[in-house]
Structure 1
Amino acid sequence: MADDIRFSGVTVNAPDALALAGFYAEITGGTARGTAHWAVADAPGGEIGFQQVADFRAPTWPDGDVPMQMHLDLLVDDLEATEARVLAAGATRFGPQPNAEHCLVFADPVGHPFCLSTWASGVAATRVYVDMVGDLFHAGHVELLRAARALGDHLTVGVLSDETVAAYKRRPVMTLAERAAVIGACRHVDEVVVDAPDRLTVEFLDEHDFALVVHGDDLDAEDVPDVYAAAADTGRLRLVPRVGGLSTTEVIDRVRSRAS
Structure 2
Amino acid sequence: MAVGRWAAVTLDCADIAPLVDFYRDVAGLKPAHVSENSGFLSNGDGVALAMQRVEDYRPPEWPGQAVTQQLHLDLAVADLDAAEAELLHLGATKPTDQPGNAKWRVYLDPAGHPFCTSVWD
Smaller-chain TM-score bracket: 0.7 to 0.9
Structure with more of its chain in helix, by fraction:
1
TM-score normalized with structure 2 length: 0.85
Cα deviation, residue 40, structure 1? 1.6
Aligned to 1:35: 35
Contact 1:107 1:113 in 2 (8 A): yes
TM-score normalized with structure 1 length: 0.42
Contact 1:19 1:36 in 2 (8 A): no
Cα deviation, residue 107, structure 1? 0.7
Distance 1:48 1:74 in 2: 13
Distance 1:82 1:93 in 2: 12
5+ long unaligned stretches in structure 1 = 125-260
- State percent identity of aligned pairs: 36
TM-aligned CA distance change 1:98 to 1:44, over 3 Å: farther
What amino acid is the match of 1:41? L
Aligned residues: 119
TM-aligned CA distance change 1:98 to 1:3, over 3 Å: closer
Q: How does 1:46-85 map to 2 (within 5 A)?
A: 46-85=47-86
Contact 2:14 2:54 in 1 (8 A): yes
Distance 2:43 2:86 in 1: 15
TM-aligned CA distance change 1:90 to 1:10, over 3 Å: same
Instruction: Extract structure 1 runs of 4+ deviating beyond 6 A.
Output: none
SS at match of 2:86: helix
Distance 2:17 2:41 in 1: 9
Q: CA RMSD in A?
A: 2.0
Distance 1:109 1:11 in 2: 15
Aligned to 2:102: 101
Distance 1:76 1:61 in 2: 22
What amino acid is the match of 1:9? A
Contact 2:18 2:110 in 1 (8 A): no
Distance 2:5 2:103 in 1: 31
Q: Based on CA coordinates, which of the two structures has the bigger radius of gyration?
A: 1
Distance 1:77 1:85 in 2: 12
5+ long unaligned stretches in structure 2 = none
What amino acid is the match of 2:42? D
Cα deviation, residue 100, structure 1? 4.5
